[in-house]
Amino acid sequence: MRYLILSDIHANRTALEAALEAAKGKWDKAVCLGDLVGYGPDPNEVTDRVREISSLTIRGNHDKAVTGLGDPEEFNPIARNAVLWTREQLRTENFEYLKELPRGPLQADSFSIIHGSVHDEDEYVFAPELALPGLQDAPSNVVFFGHTHIQGGFTLRGEEMAVLHFKPAFGSHFSRLTLEEGTTYLLNPGSIGQPRDGDPRAAFAIADIEDQWVEFWRVSYDIEDVQRRMTQAGLPEPLILRLSFGR
């Protein structure tokens, strides 16, 4: 079974459609690791699309804040501004859908999905010392997480940890990781709608756990088109600018 792994789409339909176009015919089922909305200009279009294609979706901190389950006061003023804007835009059915999204970890066949960390859906797993407790208590050998918007991950084999970085060269669209027996993987597909690892292209993964591989993809999309819609919507300028840099 080939899975499309989507995370942190953040209401960016142009990036999502570019990713789906590139992944066409290459997956059987899709999952989403949360943060469907927040930051971007297309909360309804993105929520509609995820409802249509994803067989398993968990909530992210932005989905919680937008639907009143989390406290927008915990966000910085710029993110909070986007949260409040998103809340006004969402159709009732999409608001209810986001509000009802389950919390991770959830199991999808032979892997599991979380938004932040294994123990805390809102925790950012940036560094090996933060990844270790989750690797030790991993509910399955392969766990996909989001939240940091950084494509890559962490592995544990016996006592030995390693950090994974994937930088598909320009001209190439993906790097393939071969999964090894006896290793636990905490893998981040990266963010579709607001990458923060210095590569502005949309990020996602395709995985076949039985066949023991995960592909980490990067796909270009029309960033200026999204920026125009954000300007029209009156979304904060720093959010508009950062899309160009992937930071």
Site for Zn ion, rule CB under 5 A: 8, 35
Q: Which is nearer to Zn ion, 75 or 156 (CB)?
A: 75
Q: Which is nearer to Zn ion, 8 or 42 (CB)?
A: 8
Tell me the closest approach of the beta carbon of residue 54 to Zn ion, in angstroms.
16
Q: Which is nearer to Zn ion, 8 or 123 (CB)?
A: 8
Q: How many Cα neighbours within 13 Å face the side chain of 99?
A: 12
Tell me the closest approach of the beta carbon of residue 199 to Zn ion, in angstroms.
16
Q: Which is nearer to Zn ion, 35 or 42 (CB)?
A: 35
Q: Which is nearer to Zn ion, 17 or 35 (CB)?
A: 35
Tell me the closest approach of the beta carbon of residue 181 to Zn ion, in angstroms.
32
Tell me the closest approach of the beta carbon of residue 222 to Zn ion, in angstroms.
21
Tell me the closest approach of the beta carbon of residue 130 to Zn ion, in angstroms.
16
Residue nearest to Zn ion as judged by C-beta position: 35
